[in-house]
Amino acid sequence: MKIRVYYEDTDFGGVVYYANYLRYMERSRTEYLRERGVDLLDYHTRGFLFAVVEANIKYRKPARYNDLLEVRSAIADCTAVSMTFDTTIENAAHDLLVRGAVKLACISTDGKARRIPREILEVLK
């Protein structure tokens, strides 16, 4: 997915504030699932939440105000209770800016671990 860097995304130096890459990665994960028919709001109303339990990010080069970024996510690992996404963020020149991995655990609305619904696992594997 493409994301434009807005002024609000940047720090005083005009580069993307480091934590904003996590927001970009979340958007990409959400769209990845949506494109495969997984509506997170629907699962939320059914009592399934997906909480970030681990994030690992490697910053290589900065993105700057007005850059157009390409954010790509893919499933790296999937178990009965968790899924791990690998994400890359590149600029328009195809320079790798950021690479990250985020692990999500499936939990109930009261915070207890639960199995990922079978239909989601089928789509992801």
pLDDT tens for each residue of 89-124: 999 999 999 999 999 999 999 999 999 999 999 999
Which residues, at least 6 apart from 112, have a Cβ–Cβ distance to it below 8 Å?
Answer: none
The CA distance from 15 to 80, in Å, is: 38
Number of domains into which the chain is organized: 1
Here the tokens at position 41 are: 């709001």
Which structural domain range is residue 27 located in?
2-124
Active site residue: 9, 11, 67, 86, which one? 11
Q: Is residue 11 annotated as part of the catalytic site, yes or no?
A: yes
pLDDT tens string 39-79: 999 999 999 999 999 999 999 999 999 999 999 999 999 99
Q: What is the CATH number of the domain that holds 63?
A: 3.10.129.10
CA–CA separation, 12 and 24 (whole Å): 19
